[in-house]
């Protein structure tokens, strides 16, 4: 019997409270290193005991912290999904939905962690969607800022939405025109109170933009996502009247106090969203006609400055290269995603990307 087998008995619900507290403290210490996590995830009984203890108020906080740390590493997330998904997802969901739960933020982080690796998304999402209207109800929690009465902010739900929207099944739920979930989440693209919440909303929008079948709807008057994407990318630069008239109303005459999104990862996701909207000819024309090039031109200058970011700069140049092609230079494909690239060209592009 190894050391873990010896201590796991003290994590049983029937064990003495003082023994559970000491043992949990030891396990929590092990979750602080990759080696410790690798050791813990080999013991399925221990993992199940941790999950059991999340419902025991006196030790629940440390038990949830253990799960957060374990799932923060891909190897831990994979083990938890493999061994605990069917029990963990409904338990986490109920905790988040409970407006009086003190550990809702912790559970949001666990759900976020186990959906971060793309290969785990479908399995977790299957359990989530088995709960009727789960994403719809979680969206309500997220959009009601003071939903939780115990001062949990639920910001990590945004990253959960971003993660699961890697799956078409989740995107279909968010893009349901009857429930209007995406429309309710779009304002958080500009949320100043939390970079986590903002990143989640932008990540969701980017993933939705990957699906060219919804581009017409995204750019329609009903959704009008372009201002949500362009506004954070715009800065205090003064534009002439002709350019301002092209821009969506929300971007006209912004003034010298306008601040550009300061997080380069968020700027990159926003630019990547524009790149996806350029996939169709209709999308490219719409972006040109509504001033996307002019906003990107000023963003390019910023990314070239000491405050800028080279990765974002590269992303901007990719979109600008598509937008400036007009007339005979316009790419002769209605949908760029359907354009076949020869293998030798792919190799050159990949080698150039590696160099960048």
SS3 letters across 26-76: HHHHHCCCHHHHHHHCCCHHHHHHHHHHCCCCCCHHHHHHHHHHHHHCHHH
| DSSP structure class, residue 335 | B
Return d(Cα 61, Cα 72) in angstroms, integer: 17
- The pair phi, psi for residue 280, each rounded to 5°, is -105, 150
Closest CA to 8 of 198, 17, 19: 19
Residue 33 has pLDDT above 80, yes or no: yes
Residue 223 has pLDDT above 70, yes or no: yes
- Overall domain count for the chain: 1
Tell me the sheet residues that pair with 335. 280
| DSSP structure class, residue 152 | -
Does residue 119 form part of some domain? no
Does residue 304 form part of some domain? yes
Return d(Cα 302, Cα 356) in angstroms, integer: 19
Q: Summarize the confidence of residues 303-310 as an average pLDDT.
A: 96
pLDDT at 325: 80
Calculate the average pLDDT of the chain.
Answer: 91
Q: Summarize the confidence of residues 274-284 as an average pLDDT.
A: 94
pLDDT at 108: 98
Residue 319 has pLDDT above 50, yes or no: yes
Does residue 79 form part of some domain? no
Does residue 29 form part of some domain? no
pLDDT at 7: 87
Return d(Cα 312, Cα 309) in angstroms, integer: 5
Q: Summarize the confidence of residues 304-315 as an average pLDDT.
A: 96
324 falls in which pLDDT band (50, 70, 90)?
confident
Return d(Cα 225, Cα 183) in angstroms, integer: 9
Does residue 305 form part of some domain? yes
Does residue 281 form part of some domain? yes
Does residue 184 form part of some domain? no
CA dihedral 142→146→152→158, nearest 10 degrees, is 20
Q: For 125-168, write each residue's pLDDT tens digit.
A: 999 999 999 999 999 999 998 999 999 999 999 999 999 999 99
Range in 76-80, 176-180, 295-299, 342-346 with the lowest mean pLDDT: 342-346
Q: Is the dihedral of CA 297, 300, 302, 305 positive or negative?
A: negative
Residue 1 has pLDDT above 80, yes or no: no
Does residue 337 form part of some domain? yes
pLDDT at 161: 98
Half-sphere exposure of 212 (CA within 13 A, CB side): 15
Tally of CB atoms within 10 A around 242: 9
Return d(Cα 127, Cα 91) in angstroms, integer: 11
pLDDT at 5: 81
Q: For 53-77, write each residue's pLDDT tens digit.
A: 999 999 999 999 999 999 999 999 9
Q: Summarize the confidence of residues 211-233 as an average pLDDT.
A: 96
pLDDT at 339: 42
| DSSP structure class, residue 147 | -
Closest CA to 302 of 209, 237, 247, 254: 237
Predicted TM-score (pTM) of this structure: 0.90
Q: Is the dihedral of CA 89, 90, 93, 95 positive or negative?
A: negative
Q: Is the dihedral of CA 201, 199, 197, 125 positive or negative?
A: positive
pLDDT at 354: 53
pLDDT at 271: 98
Residue 52 near residue 13 (C-beta atoms within 8 A):
yes
Residue 291 near residue 246 (C-beta atoms within 8 A):
yes
Residue 64 near residue 110 (C-beta atoms within 8 A):
yes
Helix (H/G/I), strand (E/B), else coil: 237:
coil
Q: Which H or E element spans position 351?
A: helix 343-355
Tell me the sheet residues that pair with 280. 335
Q: E-strand spans in the chain?
A: none
User: Which domain covers residue 283, as residue numbers?
Assistant: 211-355
Give the rounded percent of residues in the chain with a pLDDT score beyond 90.
Answer: 87
Residue 336 has pLDDT above 80, yes or no: no
Helix (H/G/I), strand (E/B), else coil: 280:
strand
């Amino acid at each position: 019997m190894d050391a873990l087998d010896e201590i796991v008995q003290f994590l049983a619900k029937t064990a003495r409270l003082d023994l559970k507290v000491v043992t949990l403290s030891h396990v929590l210490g092990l979750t602080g290193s990759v080696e410790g996590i690798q050791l813990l995830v080999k013991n399925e009984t221990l993992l199940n005991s941790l999950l059991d203890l999340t419902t025991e108020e006196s030790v629940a906080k440390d038990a949830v912290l253990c799960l957060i740390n374990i799932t923060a590493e891909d190897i831990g997330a994979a083990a938890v999904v493999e061994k605990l998904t069917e029990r963990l997802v409904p338990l986490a969901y109920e905790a988040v939905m409970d407006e009086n739960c003190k550990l809702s933020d912790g559970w949001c982080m666990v759900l976020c962690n186990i959906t971060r690796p793309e290969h785990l998304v479908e399995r977790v999402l299957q359990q989530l969607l088995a709960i009727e209207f789960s994403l719809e109800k979680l969206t309500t929690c997220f959009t009601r800022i003071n939903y939780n009465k115990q001062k949990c902010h639920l910001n990590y739900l945004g990253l959960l939405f971003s993660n699961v929207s890697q799956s078409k099944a989740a995107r279909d739920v968010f893009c349901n025109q009857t429930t209007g979930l995406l429309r309710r989440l779009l304002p958080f693209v500009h949320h100043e109170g939390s970079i986590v919440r903002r990143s989640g909303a932008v990540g969701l929008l980017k993933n939705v933009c990957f699906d060219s079948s919804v581009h017409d709807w995204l750019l329609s008057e009903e959704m009008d996502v372009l201002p949500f994407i362009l506004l954070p990318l715009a800065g205090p630069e003064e534009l002439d009247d002709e350019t301002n008239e092209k821009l969506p109303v929300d971007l006209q005459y912004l003034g010298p106090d306008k601040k550009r999104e300061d997080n380069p990862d968020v700027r990159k996701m926003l630019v990547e969203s524009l790149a996806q909207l350029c996939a169709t000819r209709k999308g490219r024309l719409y972006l040109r006609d509504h001033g996307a090039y002019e906003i990107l031109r000023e963003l390019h200058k910023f990314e070239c400055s000491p405050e800028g970011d080279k990765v974002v700069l590269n992303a901007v140049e990719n979109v600008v290269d598509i937008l400036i092609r007009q007339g005979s230079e316009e790419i002769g494909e209605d949908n760029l995603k359907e354009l076949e690239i020869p293998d030798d060209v792919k190799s050159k592009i990949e080698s150039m990307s590696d160099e960048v």
